[in-house]
């Protein structure tokens, strides 16, 4: 049984026993959608109020009990060198592509000095983590040799780490992971979820680094060639569940695993929208949720094919939708605009969670 939180409320005041806190964050929910699945699709669903779930959880299947526990326990902060990134509130990860062919900003930061300057600016604008990538994984992108990728990312990672920034390395290759971690990166963001390179899990486990496992359907060269699912929400969830288990078996502690449903990676517009609508389900895995919808093609498809650099409004809309469902990290190109939007969101949450006279 899968449990998807729903029925979100502004605050828990006056709702004792009727609402639950999602993953120790700023979101409270009053019901769950209980999903029974058969193979790779939903067999049945039932909307269960939190109050009734709490009363009956002792009689429910063990997988439902485990899902409930994972939904409601607090996520540990990320210890990234001297930096601590709290996950009881949404954080922004700034995208820094040092590639000539990324879908949105290809070539803009290919020069190391310019990339470092951009990264320092993102950090000053409020990015908690800077995600440096040296290989484009846009649809149709070709693979880059590991040494070429290392030469692109290592000087940028090293200088950003020396500046005091928390740096993530966006790569599928163990050699690049090793070089970047030695240069000062603290997080590995693997769009293949450790399936591309069999040595990656060992490198990450040995380093004790957090890792982001992202769902994908096929390699970048072919992933958008008619992607198909029986039930995209259930299939992506079950796939990530398997990848989390594989990472744990390789020696990576679950507290250091983050998951990403892979918005745009082997999905149609309809798949992406369904995943975003059901995003809260992924908290049942017990791992922090990362979402990267910034400037993706789905936004263009919903706005008269707006080009990538004219998708700010849609990017912020998706960021809002994600944090409303408890996403801990949003990965974005437009850092200051997103940070400002989330500060407004945080202000709304703080006001809702401030007790008024007579409330407790």
CA–CA dist 358, 356 (Å, integer): 6
Local confidence band at 142 (pLDDT 50, 70, 90 cut-offs): confident
Which domains are assigned to the chain? 2-72 (no CATH), 78-349 (3.20.20.20)
Residue 299: the pLDDT is 97
What percent of the chain is modeled with pLDDT above 70? Answer: 95
Q: Which of 296, 297, 311, 349 is catalytic?
A: 296
User: Given 75, 267, 311, 331, which residue is catalytic?
Assistant: 331
Q: How many CB atoms lie within 10 A of CB 320?
A: 17
Tokens of 3: 């449990």
Split at pLDDT 50, 70, 90, the class of 360 is low
Identify the pLDDT of residue 29: 98
The 10s digit of each residue's pLDDT in 226-274 is 788 999 999 999 999 999 999 999 999 999 999 999 999 999 999 999 9
Q: What mean pLDDT, rounded, does the chain reach?
A: 93
C-alpha radius of gyration, the chain, whole number: 20
Place 358 in a pLDDT band, splitting at 50, 70 and 90.
Answer: low
Is-catalytic flag, 296?
yes
Q: Is the pLDDT reported for residue 328 higher than 70?
A: yes
In three state form, how does the secondary structure of the chain look?
A: CEEEEEEEECCCCCCCCCCEECCCCCCEEEEEEEEEEECCEEEEEEEEEHHHHHHHHHHCCHHHHHHHHHHHCCCCCEEECCEEECCCCCEEEEEEECCCCCCCCCCCCCCHHHHHHHHHHHHHHCCCEEEEECCCCCCCCCCCCHHHHHHHHHHHHHHHHHCCCCEEEECCCHHHHHHHHHHCCCEEEECCCCCCCCCHHHHHHHHCCCEEEECCCCCCCCCCCCCCCCCHHHHHHHHHHHHHHHHHHCCCCHHHEEEECCCCCCCCHHHHHHHHHCHHHHHHHCCCEEECCCCCHHHHHCCCCCCHHHCHHHHHHHHHHHHHCCCCEEEECCHHHHHHHHHHHHHHHHHHCCCCCCCC
Among 26-35, 138-147, 250-259, whose mean pLDDT is lowest?
Answer: 138-147
- Looking at residue 192, its pLDDT comes to 95
pLDDT at position 355: 84
């Amino acid at each position: 049984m899968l449990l998807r939180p729903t029925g979100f409320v502004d605050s828990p005041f006056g709702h004792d026993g009727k609402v639950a806190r999602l993953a120790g964050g700023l979101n409270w929910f009053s019901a769950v959608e209980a999903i029974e699945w058969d193979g790779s699709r939903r067999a049945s669903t039932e909307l269960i109020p939190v109050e009734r779930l709490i009363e009956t959880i002792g009689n429910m299947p063990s997988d439902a009990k485990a899902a409930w526990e994972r939904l409601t326990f607090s996520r540990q902060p990320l210890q990234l060198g001297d930096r601590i990134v709290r996950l009881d509130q949404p954080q922004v990860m700034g995208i820094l592509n040092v590639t000539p062919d990324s879908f949105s900003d290809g070539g803009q930061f290919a020069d190391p000095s310019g990339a470092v300057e951009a990264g320092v600016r993102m950090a000053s604008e409020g990015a908690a983590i800077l995600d440096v990538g040296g290989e484009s994984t846009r649809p149709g992108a070709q693979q880059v040799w590991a040494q070429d990728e290392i030469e692109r990312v290592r000087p940028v990672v090293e200088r950003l780490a020396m500046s005091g920034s928390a740096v993530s390395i966006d790569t599928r290759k163990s050699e690049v992971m090793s070089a970047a971690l030695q240069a000062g990166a603290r997080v590995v963001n693997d769009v293949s979820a450790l399936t591309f390179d069999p040595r990656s899990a060992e490198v990450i486990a040995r380093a004790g680094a957090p890792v982001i496992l992202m769902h994908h359907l096929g390699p970048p060269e072919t992933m958008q060639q008619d992607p198909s699912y029986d039930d995209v929400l259930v299939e992506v969830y079950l796939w990530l569940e398997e990848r989390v288990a594989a990472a744990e078996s390789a020696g990576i502690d679950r507290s250091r695993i983050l998951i990403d449903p892979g918005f745009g990676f082997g999905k149609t517009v309809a798949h992406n929208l369904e995943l975003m609508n059901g995003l809260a389900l992924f908290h049942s895995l017990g791992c922090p949720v990362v979402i990267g919808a910034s400037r993706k093609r789905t936004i263009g498809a919903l706005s008269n094919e707006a080009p990538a650099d004219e998708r700010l409004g849609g990017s912020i809309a998706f960021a809002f939708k994600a944090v409303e469902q408890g996403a801990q990290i949003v990965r974005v190109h437009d850092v200051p605009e997103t940070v400002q939007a989330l500060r407004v969101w945080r202000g709304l949450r703080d006001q809702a969670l401030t007790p008024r006279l007579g409330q407790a």
